[in-house]
Structure 1
Amino acid sequence: MLIRPETPADHDAIHELTWVAFKPMAFSDDTEADIIRTLRANGDLAISLVAEEGGEIVGHVAFSPVTINGVDDGWFGLGPIAVKPGMQRQGVGKALIAAGLKLLDERGASGCALIGNPDVYSRAGFVSDGRLTYQDIDTKYVQRFVLRGSAPSGTLKFARAFGG
């Protein structure tokens, strides 16, 4: 499996993969694929990586800037992340996350935050200590990965593409 930055030729495949991967998810509101296009159009898609196997895109992860308490302090949000059905739970997502966090670290980022299942994202090193909040979501789902500095505290705000 090859993990690489997206190219313009990948945009439609990323959109389709994201739509297909999120379609059966009970928590999905069918906006995930469009969020990626909007992040890209707004210049907020800081990192966009694909996992490719046999010439086919089988996974994708997006990272975009976030603020905490209204301050841009080098933090990024992870998501959406999608893996082709049938290839989920085989390490593709974890590899995409690891590659993205490595790039963020190389770029001097402070850390990465996400909203997601702690049983899934704790395996990639994300933790929740209740100090980060996002809207009215239970803080156990608001997780972070510190790359440098101390763990943040406050209200998380994602890029405009997320509707917040």
Structure 2
Amino acid sequence: MTSQNIMIRDESETDIPAISAITLAAFQPLEISNHTEHFIIEALRAAGALSVSLVAEVDGRVVGHIAFSPVTMSDGSEGWYGLGPVSVLPDFQRQGIGKALINEGLERLKGMNANGCCLVGHPEYYRQFGFVNTDALAHEGVPAEYFFVLPFGDSVPQGRVVFHEGFNAADSRTDA
């Protein structure tokens, strides 16, 4: 597959079922996942907090999704966003689709005059996009090597970052 076959665009309402299915399929095999990512996206969407929500199409089929939502910085810094979840159907992984989604999403944030982006993710993968670990900023409960920031300017907030409350979403339809 070549990147010419990948089209990145804003999500539409008709994409919502595909986004849920893609997210479930992408995170299902991951032991580090608590498998609530699709609920997080639903909660962010319901709260109007999906600042950027993009899908990747290959030959007219939606095969990937990425979400960006506002985060709160303990030092009052504004204009920062969290990346995630990002999902690609397993059969389409390792073909540049996730990279295309991330790169386009970061460009969209810059176009919104964002000050930066942060995420919790794999220590090796996100460095290629310019994300770095920093001692200046932390996310409670997350080891420093899994928390990354990408400032779009010269300053990095100090203190703690809190992701949107939608990240606390779980299946409200399940009573254990």
TM-score interval (norm. to shorter): over 0.9
Query: What residue in structure 2 maps to residue 132 of structure 1?
Result: 137
Match of 2:28 among 9, 13, 23: 23
Say whether the 8 Å CA contact 1:110–1:149 is kept in structure 2: no
Distance in 2 (CA, whole Å) between partners of 1:70 and 1:41 is 27
Deviation per CA, 1:25-46: give whole Å up to 9, x if none. 0111110011101100001110
Distance in 1 (CA, whole Å) between partners of 2:77 and 2:13 is 28
- CA RMSD, Structure 1 to Structure 2 (Å): 1.3
Query: What residue in structure 2 maps to residue 74 of structure 1?
Result: 79
**How many residues matched?**
164
AA paired with 1:55? G
Which moves more between the two structures, 50-59 or 132-141?
Answer: 132-141
Query: What residue in structure 1 maps to residue 38 of structure 2?
Result: 33
TM value normalised by structure 2? 0.89
Query: What residue in structure 1 maps to residue 174 of structure 2?
Result: none
Runs ≥4 residues deviating over 6 A: none
Deviation per CA, 1:131-153: give whole Å up to 9, x if none. 22111211111101111241222
SS in 1 for 2:124: helix
Distance in 1 (CA, whole Å) between partners of 2:102 and 2:131 is 10
Larger radius of gyration: 2
Which moves more between the two structures, 99-108 or 85-94?
Answer: 85-94
Following TM superposition, by how much is the alpha carbon of 1:71 offset from its aligned partner in structure 2, in angstroms? 2.6
SS in 2 for 1:66: strand
Distance in 2 (CA, whole Å) between partners of 1:91 and 1:17 is 16
Unaligned runs of 5+ in 2: 1-5, 170-176
Cα 1:76–1:151 shift into 2, 3 Å: same
Query: What residue in structure 1 maps to residue 173 of structure 2?
Result: none
TM value normalised by structure 1? 0.96
Unaligned runs of 5+ in 1: none
Query: What residue in structure 1 maps to residue 12 of structure 2?
Result: 7
SS in 2 for 1:109: coil
Deviation per CA, 1:32-72: give whole Å up to 9, x if none. 01110110000111000000001111110000000111635
Query: What residue in structure 1 maps to residue 168 of structure 2?
Result: 163
Say whether the 8 Å CA contact 1:111–1:147 is kept in structure 2: yes
Query: What residue in structure 2 maps to residue 110 of structure 1?
Result: 115
AA paired with 1:39? L
Following TM superposition, by how much is the alpha carbon of 1:94 offset from its aligned partner in structure 2, in angstroms? 1.0
Say whether the 8 Å CA contact 1:59–1:84 is kept in structure 2: yes
Query: What residue in structure 1 maps to residue 124 of structure 2?
Result: 119
SS in 2 for 1:114: strand
